Amino acid sequence: MSKSELFSNLGITLDIALEAHEIIRGETGAEIPGVRKDEERFENATVTTVTVVTPEAEKIIGKPMGSYITIDAPGIRRNNKDLQRAVSQILAKKLVEILHLKEHTTILLVGLGNWNATPDALGPTVIDHTMVTRHIHKYAPEELKGGLRSVCALAPGVLGITGIETAEIIKGVVDRVKPDLVIAIDALAATNVERICSTIQISTTGINPGSGVGNRRTGINIETMGVPVYAIGVPTVVHAGVIANAVVEGLVNELQTSPTLYQIYKGLNPQAVQGIISNIMAPFSGNLMVTPKEIDELIENTSEIIAAGLSQALHPGIGPEECMLYLQ
CB neighbour list of residue 94: distance below 8 Å, 6 or more residues apart: 47, 69, 71, 202
Supply angle C-alpha 91, 97, 103, rounded to 5.
Answer: 105
**CB atoms inside a 10 Å sphere around CB 44:** 19
Low-confidence winner among 2-6, 33-37, 90-94 (lowest mean pLDDT) = 2-6
Write out pLDDT tens, residues 257-301. 766 666 666 666 666 666 777 777 666 656 788 999 999 999 999
Residues of the chain with pLDDT > 70, as a percent, come to 80
Give the residue from 147, 159, 160, 178 showing the smallest Cα distance to 313.
Answer: 147
* Structural domains of the chain, ranges and CATH numbers in brackets: 3-243+284-326 (3.40.50.1450)
- Region 233-259 average pLDDT: 79
Q: How confident is the model at residue 142 (pLDDT cuts 50, 70, 90)?
A: low
Give the pLDDT confidence score for residue 262 in this predicted structure.
62
Separation between Cα atoms, residue 113 and residue 124, nearest integer Å: 7
Spatial distance between the Cα atoms of 92 and 306, rounded to a whole number of angstroms: 9
Classify the phi-psi angles of 100: left when phi > 0, otherwise alpha if psi is within -120 to 50, otherwise beta. Answer: left
| pLDDT confidence of residue 316 | 83
